[in-house]
Amino acid sequence: MSSVASTRSLPLRVSAFFHRHPAVRLALFLLPGLLWLGLLYLGSLGSLVLYSLWLLEEFTGLVVRRFTLSTFAQLAQPANYEIVLRTVGMAAAVSIACALLAFPISYYMARYASPRMKTFLYIWVIMPLWTSYLVRALAWRSVMAGEGLFMWAMERLGLDGVMRALLGAPVVGGPTLVQSKFSLFVVYVYLWLPYMILPVQAALERVPLSYLEASDDLGARPGTTFRRIVLPLAKPGLVAGSIFTFSLTLGDFILPQIFGTSEFYLGQMVYVQQGVAGNLPLAAVFTFVAMAVMLVYLAIAKRAGAFEAL
């Protein structure tokens, strides 16, 4: 180390310069990342705004670069706003189902699991999030196939009549199981479930045991304790999880191509409009709808006081 101190080498002089000018060093640290994210990414979001205000000329199929709100006005067409309503409905149903499924395992992890078991469950709940969601969706295509595992299990349980009725039902049904809204729903729930488990578990982790004991001592029945103590304290976690499940469902365009009826979903509309239809302005408008729905959702979540406890 003596050589370090004895020679005023270039690295040392550079270091000294940076020490005297911390702002320069800070700028150098920030510049590459900010150029990328600030200029390229935020700039891209900006260009999306531009496109949403442009219009596709129907006859020529070219984008007219003149400011107009007429692309936004196309949202008023029934075919278009039905897509938005359908997608929001699906996102809501998926979020509720995820919350119901996430609760028991989160509660078990937070309250009863030994530290080893907790670590084990934590890793294995998080694992699927790092596995391709396309691959996981793919698995369900075989499960839901005509003669596949799901129908086989239903038959064994004597529920094939119920399944036939379900497929024939107006909203959830479809010509085959894969082509039913029910299967699209199930696969969404499956894919986003870990995003719900993790925040709910974190919220339940913070419920003091003494609260539950106090409630017990005061004569509350388990159901009452659950409803009046556990559930309100778990709410921030449920809301945080639902932000993920909501946002991911709104933005997805892969699954409706594999599962469900021929009805369109928001993400799919963005995908088709920018691709096959070549209508980037309309695609941009639908993207804004997705972002707007998320912003409204976040505002509601915030007003419900859900963020303060996070």
Partner 1 sequence: MSGAGARRAGVGLKLASALVFGFLYFPLLVIVLYAFTTQSSAFTFPPPGFTTRWFSVAFADEDMWRAVRLSLLVAGLSTGVAIVLGGLLAGAVYRARFPGREAVAFIVVLPIALPGIVTGIALRSTLSLAGASFGFWTIVIGHVTFCIVIVYNNVVARLRRLSPNIVEASADLGASGLQTFRYVLLPNLATAILAGAILSFALSFDEIIVTTFTAGQQQTLPIYIFSILFRPRAKPVTNVVALLAIAITFFPIMLAQILTRERAGGTAGR
What part of residues 199-218 is at the interface with partner 1 (CB under 8 A)? 209, 212-213, 215-216
Q: State the DSSP H helix or E strand holding residue 57, giving kind and residue range, or none if neither.
A: strand 55-57
DSSP 74: G
Which amino acid is residue 305, in one-letter code? G
Residue closer to partner 1, measured from CB, 44 or 171: 44
Q: Which contacts qualify for 299-302: CB closer than 8 Å, 24 or more apart?
A: 301/239, 301/242, 301/243
The span from the CA of 280 to the CA of 8, in Å, is: 58
Q: Which residues contact 119 (CB under 8 A, 6 or more apart)?
A: none
Does residue 34 belong to the site contacting partner 1 (CB under 8 A)? yes
Q: What's the min distance (Å) between Cβ of 281 and partner 1? A: 10
Hey, CA dihedral for 228, 232, 238, 242, is it positive or negative? Answer: positive
Q: Terminal CA-to-CA distance of the chain, rounded, Å?
A: 48
8 Å CB contact between 188 and 95:
no
Q: What's the min distance (Å) between Cβ of 280 and partner 1? A: 6
Q: What's the min distance (Å) between Cβ of 103 and partner 1? A: 8
Residue closer to partner 1, measured from CB, 44 or 78: 44
Does residue 9 belong to the site contacting partner 1 (CB under 8 A)? yes
Residues 164-193 interacting with partner 1 (rule: CB under 8 A): 190, 193
Does residue 233 belong to the site contacting partner 1 (CB under 8 A)? no
Residues 263-302 interacting with partner 1 (rule: CB under 8 A): 267, 270-271, 274, 280, 283-284, 287, 290-291, 294
Residue closer to partner 1, measured from CB, 19 or 171: 19
Does residue 253 belong to the site contacting partner 1 (CB under 8 A)? yes
Structure tokens, 39: 């200029």
Window 49-88: contact mask with partner 1 (x via CB under 8 A): -xx-------------------------------------
Does residue 307 belong to the site contacting partner 1 (CB under 8 A)? no
Residue closer to partner 1, measured from CB, 150 or 171: 150
Structure tokens, 90: 């699906």
Q: What residues form DSSP beta bridges with 55?
A: 64
Does residue 159 belong to the site contacting partner 1 (CB under 8 A)? no
